[in-house]
Structure 1
Amino acid sequence: MTTLTEEPAEMPDTESRETAALTRSLVDKLWSYCDVLRDAGVPAIDYVEQLTYLLFLKMMDEQEKKLARKGKPNRVLPVGIDWDTLASKKGEELKKYYEHVLEDLGKRPGTFKLIFLGAQNKIQATGLLERLIKDLIGKTQWSKEGVDVKGDAYEELLSRSASDVKSGAGQYFTPRPLIRAMIDCVQPTPEDTIVDPACGTGGFLLLANEYLRREYPMESLNPDQRNRIIHGQAFHGVELVRGTARLAAMNMLTHGVVPSGNEEIIEVGDALLSEPKVRASLVLANPPFGQKSAITVLGEDGKVVKDEAVYSGRDFWVTTKNKQLNFLQHIAKLMKIDGRAAVVLPDNVLFEGGAGETIRRRLLKEYDVHTLLRLPTGIFYAGGVKANVLFFDRKRPSETPWTSKLWVYDFRTGENFTLKQRPLRREHLQDFVDCYMPGKPRDERTQTERFKPFSYEELVEREKVNLDITWSPASDENATAQLSAQEIARSIAQDLQSALAQIEAVINELSADN
């Protein structure tokens, strides 16, 4: 398969504003069809999935024509499949040809298989399908829009579909301001192999790619470094749900990351079932929340088989049913020596006893667990989630513990966010990034009211090595006293939501056991 090699250029502020305006215009145009299709029974996430198929076909068709104009004719799409044929048909004939295209491409290797395996036409109304193909996708020259416009437009579509609570898409969408802050702290380089073992729609890989292209202009890199970014060898994601994996693959594609040959940037499967295929120098992840682990097998025919199981076949420190603890063990194992990790984890990983205590002890001793960001509620699409970001580095075996100090940043006390009225923005996390001091020795860090260090000895002496550390910054004690009744009620409601979610998880686990 011929690859795209578009590269974004550095843009002045005026051009950036123009790009943003073009992106908004394109998103509004694409999203305008969502309301129409929703009335026809097509949820937002299914709409984005159908757009994925059609955008891929249109972009590949444009690539073929671009090569032909340059006197380098080369088939990108298989013989017998092309956009012009699709767009020329009407009614039932169009629907049948479209479904034939989906089925045929699902049998092809590489990126075709990743995006089209198990693909189905969810738009049964032929009139709507024809409008989508001819009026929306067909009238836009996607290759002329540039990487920034079409990539940001696709990402914005994913963001809007994530807000569609009924579709459940939000579980695959980590807030982008949080990801950007995490990436600004760990500072990826062109030499890194960046892995997300639960990649969802690809947010971490996508924004790592954005960071690399901004901080390391393509013309400043050697050919190997440039190819690692453009053709995706620098990135590897694993996603359990095939439909979500295809969204991640398309997200990377529209942002200028295109695998060469039959390589796949996004792997479909359960990362916890087998040893990792790729060792990471940098792990960025937000593993799925939930107590019960399950083996899910997706056959070549697209059928899913689930079987409750404990992940006991892996080289983990301890066997447990807790999915987050298993992901934490998996991440620790897939890291290279001197590798770094920044991982979103729920509160229970910090305080749960038994397996949790064993894992925390091993992690503190064998890894340098150096920073913990306590996150407020109201920033995730799942209500009431209390989460944290844990930063740690893998080190060579040593008789003495590698963790000397764990710096904890309290971004929870006195902070209230909502998805609509007060959404989290990147600037809200700037103080944390400043305290983190990216790229500088950690012994130069300074304690503040929100940022405090705890020694290894203090941590292991805490009951069950509990890392659920809280305190009341002085500046927030006064603020707390002035909280309105509405803010207090909101805080109580968020705590109740979190408690109910944990109770529901326990009930589900007990029901499964019975």
Structure 2
Amino acid sequence: MNPISNDIIARLWNLCNVLKDDGVTYHQYVTELTYLLFFKMAKETGTEGQIPKGHRWDNLIAKPKLERLEAYKITLIHLGTHGEQIVKEIFSNASSFIKKPATLSALVEGIDKLAWYNAGREDLGDIYEGLLEKSANEKKSGAGQYFTTRSLIDSLVTVMKPTLDDLIQDPAAGTGGFLIAANHYIREHQNPENWNKNQLEKYRTRTFFGMEHVQDTHRLALMNLFLHGIDFNPDAGGVHYGDTLSPDGQKLPGATLILSNPPFGSKKGGGLPERTDLPYPTSNKQFCFLQHIYRGLKPGGRAAVVLPDNALFEGNIGKQIRADLMDKCNLHTILRLPTGIFYAQGVKTCVIFFTKGHTDQGNTKEVWVYDLRANMPQYGKRTLLTRNHFSEFETAFGDDPLGRPEALSRRRDDTGITNRFRRFSREWIAQHNDNLDISWLKDESEELPEPGVLAREVMEELEGALEELREIMEELGEEVEV
């Protein structure tokens, strides 16, 4: 990111100090800023035509300071039902957290003074992503639940190699990080200046698809994609507002590439998802999303999915889902991620990489596991996880995003205990009860976790055990109280 963009991000973030006396949280601040930045950036990018007259940036600036807050709140309500589709989506059910006219005026005037004329359209997108990242790094905001670290996203996109021919989906889109990174990759590797009219139309409206069920987060995703030149069409591409684990998710089109970090944990109350097309119903959200993902791929399509480790070893329905996945897809690679890179510090995570087969049986022949966790630091605010930490993994992964046999044959399997990359046959995995939580390195750096982390891990294990007991009782025909 260039120095101008970094300076604007820092100045915008400093404006949040204005809101402290109004009791506005960091996450609320970014949502509030999204409304104001949409007006300002629509003016800067020459796209104000999609906002009704009388409700644009200059109209807000022209209002007397004492009248500005009331006019702003009226505008938020008005735009929820007027203007172009993206305007109505971003401002759907919008309301302001600001209580004092002086607070809004300080924000508006602070934004107006920034040197926007030095920032290009792509810079505006980077500026907005920078704000989202700052919000995610604030523990008090809780934003880390939907923000995946950019270094990990960029690494996964690099090995998955998206192209303009792909239909790319994220069924748990959050703020759109995976889709934006895929967009960056495509534009860097396929010069947009060489695209014809049909390619440009396909890129803008039928390349990027996603779904997000938290409305405020959905706004952030739409704004993010808007600033990166990706259109929202209610009948086509963009991030749609809805619950993937409800019938909404069945509306997402079949994809050739899925990149996602689905939410972890169980559905509240232990209830089952509303989707009726998932063959293995469970209250475990990551298993439900995983089924959506591998069933939603077109034959030959590929996926990289971030999951908690328990998806690799839980029994009963978890085992059945893993077996079904390995039948229908070539699950060729698992990346064991370092600890401390997500909001819930005690959650151990991995990434699984797979390609949908052209038949439904026997597609996984071997699984390669890369251990980036053992003998690695505890990442967090003090020790940042950077793109360089993934460089050896990317080299070991190779240049084939589909993990085809000829590419896997070129991988190096050193069975020595210091090597991070090892191969395991499908037969070996079956002999070990389809348990994919495979490790072989002795972790010399492992320290005793904090009490809160230990408590969280115990709770997750108990929740998993209770889920298995519920499923056993249901199979026996016993009524289960929720």
- Give the distance between the partners of 1:507 and 1:450, measured in 2 at CA: 31
TM-score by length of 1: 0.84
Report the alpha carbon displacement of residue 436 of structure 1 after superposing the two structures with TM.
Answer: 0.4
The separation in 1 between residues aligned to 2:114 and 2:391, in whole angstroms, is 38
- Separation of aligned partners in 2, 1:506 and 1:166: 28
Partner residue in 2 for 1:21: 3
Q: Which residue of 2 aligns with 1:9?
A: none
Do 1:272 and 1:311's aligned partners in 2 also have CA atoms closer than 8 Å? yes
Cα gap change, 1:41 to 1:500, in 2 (>3 Å): farther
Q: Distance between the aligned counterparts of 1:207 and 1:493, measured in 2? A: 36
Deviations 1:195-214 (A, max 9, x none): 00001111100111111111
Q: 1:495 to 1:200 in 2, by over 3 A?
A: same
Aligned residues: 460
Q: TM-score, normalised by structure 2?
A: 0.89
1:360 aligns with 2:322: yes
2:454 maps to 1:496: yes
**1:59 and 1:406 mapped to 2: Cα distance?**
47
Give % identity. 39
**Kept after mapping to 2: 8 A contact 1:408/1:453:** yes
> Any residues of structure 2 matched to 1:450-461 within 5 Å, and which?
450-461=420-431
CA distance in 1, matches of 2:169, 2:218: 14
Question: Cα deviations across residues 358-395 of structure 1 (Å, max 9, x unaligned)?
Answer: 11111111211100001121111211110100000111
Identify the residue that residue 104 of structure 2 maps to in structure 1: 129
Alpha carbon RMSD of aligned pairs, Å? 2.5
- 1:475-507 superposed Cα distances (whole Å, 9 cap, x missing partner): xx5x82xx5xxx6245x7696255145158569
Distance 1:494 1:261 in 2: 43
Give the AA of the match of 1:443: S
Q: In structure 2, what is the Cα distance between the partners aligned to 1:246 and 1:409?
A: 36
CA contact (8 A) 2:335 2:351 kept: yes
Trace 1:51-130 onto structure 2 (pairs within 5 A).
51-63=33-45, 66=46, 75-108=49-82, 110-130=85-105
Which deviates the most, 441-450 or 235-244? 441-450
3-state SS in 2 of match to 1:344: strand
Say yes or no: does 1:219 pair with 2:193: yes
Structure 2: runs of 5 or more not aligned: 401-405, 470-479
CA offset digits 1:122-171 (Å, max 9, x no partner): 111111101111x2222346465113322111111111111221221110
Deviations along 1:25-51, one digit per CA (max 9) or x if unpaired, are 101110111122124311111111111
Residue equivalent to 2:438: 469
For 1:494 and 1:415, the matched residues in 2 are separated by 21
Q: Displacement, 1:255?
A: 2.1
Distance 1:120 1:355, change over 3 A: same
Q: Do the aligned residues in 2 keep the contact of 1:347 with 1:386 (CA within 8 Å)?
A: yes
Q: Which residue of 1 aligns with 2:119?
A: 145
Cα distance in 1 for residues equivalent to 2:321 and 2:344:
26
Q: CA deviation at 1:314?
A: 2.4
Is the CA contact (8 Å cut-off) linking 1:201 and 1:247 kept in structure 2? yes
Aligned residue number for residue 382 of structure 2: 421
- For 1:254 and 1:78, the matched residues in 2 are separated by 19
Specify every segment of 5 or more residues in structure 1 that has no aligned partner in the other structure, as ranges.
1-18, 68-73, 295-307
Between the aligned partners of 1:494 and 1:376, the Cα distance in structure 2 is 18
Give 1:30-429 correspondences, 5 Å limit: 30-63=12-45, 66=46, 75-108=49-82, 110-133=85-108, 135-140=109-114, 142=116, 145-229=119-203, 231-259=204-232, 265-274=238-247, 275-292=250-267, 309-311=271-273, 313-398=275-360, 400-429=361-390
Q: CA deviation at 1:24?
A: 1.1
Which residue among 411, 415, 431 is the counterpart of 1:445?
Answer: 411
Q: Which secondary structure state, in structure 1, belongs to the residue aligned with residue 152 of structure 2? A: helix
Contact 2:336 2:372 in 1 (8 A): yes
Q: Distance in 1 between matches of 2:370 and 2:379?
A: 21
> Could you tell me how far 1:334 is from its partner in structure 2?
1.1
Residue identity matched to 2:325:
L
